[in-house]
Structure 1
């Protein structure tokens, strides 16, 4: 410590460690010290007044920098809500900062930051991230999360390459798409894996903060809505091959939803139905039953 700070140990201890600098001096090279809490310091976490926080943020600068200071390349702290939202309507907002040249500190870490606000009774439409895995913190409110994935054991089977044609067909028919649900409340943390469709329903005003990893060149891909809907971009002939219904039926279904990104959680064109009727619908759909809930966003 004396070499690091070029100062006497007693002064370092008094200034940095808040310990009594008095007492007998030990031989150089044999001094031992501890980080015991003093009467005035109960630990490493201390309370800071609002005035101190405001004063600190006025002069805050990021430690990440590109080039020389003379060029003014030291970047300021990131404010997610500084500009206009990337996505916005009457049902919700999304603010996002991506790892690009404007944000070199995020570019160095290959991370993105996302802030989502969903109004009570609204739904963030089913979507997935092409590359990024996002760790999400619930800052405010309550809601429900739905995530669609293929069962892990089925994914492992799908990696087997040297099998007979009959076995491959039988295995493909047994693949099961599962819907996973969770209730969300303030303080919860959940993970959105890349390439896994997710829908989020707000039972009260819901605020989320996301930290995306492996975010460079990531794209958020929506599966429903009037704009940015990847299914709507598929050629009609391809829809005929990809979906049970005809391409024309798929296009008609997509056009039912007039909103984009955030919508009312209650489908406008659907008449009320009993839980028994919904259960029966799932049974009739066979293996596709678990997808019904998340696909109701198509309205």
Structure 2
């Protein structure tokens, strides 16, 4: 009987232990499983999203630090939207934080999409701008009082549109939308710019409505009745600024266009608006896991006076853009395809969402605090999102469940130096062994291996097992730590 009681007690004990482990596993799984809806589209101030699907984000810790650097796609305002296309504009950066983004308060980010076989009417801005064609092909034309020039444009082309220059666009493709991202630098009011249209449309008046009919009639030497039909304040056309065009009209609009690589009439202004392809030169960084293309003001005269760079990064699924920082340039980055896990280190403490976003605050309360602790900024960014990478802030990007494409406009890009913190060509690798030992508190063997174990530069697989075949693999960090006695 005693033996039976002992067996019973032992059996109950084993069942309890098994139940405890199952319950603990279930709780742990529920705690770290990311909400599916938040992954797809998080809030404007998004806490760190969950790991990616497909396993590429496993093992990457997520933080709940609120992220003022991340602008979800819902942050964009619709400047214009119709069946023919749309124009979206990101609010002023200082609306998010009046101190954090003070250095880029005069810059605005926008992107647009034109449906196949459409035409964007002539207009100009009181802002300088730089375009990057994200998708499709088309024709852009520039008109001044002394010249008209038009160019074929396609994916990867960069072009400058000077302030005050009238231009118009045509999507010459009959199947693919034309997508363009742009950074604008207002010349009148910091952070604010306006469109000016010579012809009226559904939601926009002609700028000629700012003159009296008597002045216009005398200026153009046409009857006031004709002016009434053309630019009347009260009568509005039913069409918007993006309009459908026929194949014959597209042919006529495109027949005078020049390819950027061809020779053309060199007017006084054409040097500013001649497009060039970001893909024409070799990538700045490239390997099996990613490619990084960049054009900067040092090499391209169109960008010199604006001090703006343009970058394009392609990353394969599950790849890591190794940790780095820029010495002078702040990048306004836009996700064109896929999703990525974005991490950045910042010395600033941020106010809560409600305090930062709503209501006026006193100037002394707006200053972001600099504390001894580094803030870990984490976000899942997906197509249509934008995020800002300030100068000096170390950051990294991990592509997740598909290939990732991101583009960026670099502000204050002249004389910038990009410094990598990991990889075969990284800054810390050049520290003396003694300096490494004294700084990180490690032994000589560990100091020699700490920053030299990565087999790749710039881009690397997120899973260390993909680095090399087993027989060619360098010692793992675990073996190094074991050897060093940790």
Q: Secondary structure at the match of 1:255?
A: coil
Question: Residues 224 and 76 (structure 1 numbering): CA distance in 2 closer, same or farther, change over 3 Å?
Answer: same
Q: In the alignment, is the contact (CA less than 8 A) between 2:348 and 2:369 conserved in 1?
A: no
Q: In the alignment, is the contact (CA less than 8 A) between 1:144 and 1:184 conserved in 2?
A: yes
Q: In the alignment, is the contact (CA less than 8 A) between 1:123 and 1:199 conserved in 2?
A: yes
Look up the match of 2:254.
55
Q: How many residues align?
A: 230
Matched, 1:34 2:233: yes
The whole-number CA distance in structure 1 between the counterparts of 2:318 and 2:293 is: 20
**Which structure: greater helix fraction?**
1
Look up the match of 2:229.
20
Question: Among residues 392, 400, 408, which one is paired with 1:195 in the alignment?
Answer: 392
The whole-number CA distance in structure 2 between the counterparts of 1:144 and 1:226 is: 23
- C-alpha displacement at 1:184, in angstroms? 1.2
Look up the match of 2:455.
258
Q: Secondary structure at the match of 2:341?
A: strand
Q: Which runs of 5+ in 1 are unaligned?
A: 22-31, 62-67, 159-173, 271-299
Deviations 1:7-39 (A, max 9, x none): 23569977xxxx735xxxxxxxxxx83275314
The whole-number CA distance in structure 2 between the counterparts of 1:195 and 1:127 is: 9
Question: Among residues 289, 296, 309, which one is paired with 1:98 in the alignment?
Answer: 296
Kindly report the root-mean-square deviation, in angstroms, between the aligned alpha carbons of the 2 structures. 3.6
Look up the match of 1:140.
337
The whole-number CA distance in structure 1 between the counterparts of 2:219 and 2:309 is: 40
- C-alpha displacement at 1:205, in angstroms? 0.4
- C-alpha displacement at 1:125, in angstroms? 0.4
The whole-number CA distance in structure 2 between the counterparts of 1:48 and 1:120 is: 39
- C-alpha displacement at 1:71, in angstroms? 12
The whole-number CA distance in structure 1 between the counterparts of 2:256 and 2:411 is: 26
Q: Which runs of 5+ in 2 are unaligned?
A: 1-207, 209-214, 261-265, 351-366, 468-486
Matched, 1:77 2:286: no
Which TM-score applies when normalising by structure 2? Answer: 0.42
Which TM-score applies when normalising by structure 1? Answer: 0.66
Q: In the alignment, is the contact (CA less than 8 A) between 2:322 and 2:459 conserved in 1?
A: yes
- C-alpha displacement at 1:83, in angstroms? 1.8
- C-alpha displacement at 1:75, in angstroms? 6.0
**Which structure: greater strand fraction?**
2
- C-alpha displacement at 1:248, in angstroms? 4.3
The whole-number CA distance in structure 2 between the counterparts of 1:107 and 1:256 is: 39
- C-alpha displacement at 1:207, in angstroms? 0.3
Q: In the alignment, is the contact (CA less than 8 A) between 2:436 and 2:447 conserved in 1?
A: yes
